[in-house]
Amino acid sequence: MKDNTILMDKNVLFSGLYSSSGASFQILRLIDAEKVKLVISTTLLFEYEDVLKRKQTELGLSHKQVDIILDNICAFGKFQAIHFLWRPYLKDPKDDHVLEVAVASKTKIIVTHNLKDFKGVEKFGIKAISPGKFLETIK
């Protein structure tokens, strides 16, 4: 069986909640159906919370609904502690923690809309791919 474990960048979560017509939404549905396993960390969860609460009006969500989404991410996600740091490595230092979680959890795929921000992760045996490309790999 193919390993469908991923790290999901915050922009994919936002996009999936913003529009139900794209690949990001389909990934959220696959996570909910437990066909894709999501790896999370404390830092990544706080990043999700930050973007969702800052943009909750744009998403049409209440504070309580955002909390429910975050609770579900915790329930469906596999928590990964980080015991070492690779910083600085990526162009955007704010993305280094995503790489660190991928390395620590041995997750081979980071799903993101910002592929350029994850150039060089191949050195660690990790691929950064768009939501659409990820969906193509699991068909």
User: Tell me, what's the pLDDT at 26?
Assistant: 98
Rounded Cα–Cα distance for residues 23 and 130 (Å): 9
pTM of the model: 0.93
Return the structure tokens found at 11: 């922009």
Q: Which domain holds residue 59?
A: 5-138
DSSP bridge partners of 110: 7, 128
CB atoms within 10 A of CB 89: 16
User: Tell me, what's the pLDDT at 76?
Assistant: 94
User: Tell me, what's the pLDDT at 1?
Assistant: 42
Whether 77 contacts 39, CB under 8 Å: yes
Residue 11: CATH number of its domain: 3.40.50.1010
Rounded mean pLDDT for each run of 10 residues along the chain, 139 residues in total: 87 97 97 96 95 97 97 96 73 84 95 94 95 92
Interacting residues of 120 by C-beta distance below 8 A, sequence separation 6+: 89, 90
User: Tell me, what's the pLDDT at 86?
Assistant: 61
The H or E element containing residue 115 is none
User: Tell me, what's the pLDDT at 139?
Assistant: 72
Rounded Cα–Cα distance for residues 17 and 59 (Å): 7
- How many independent structural domains does the chain possess? 1
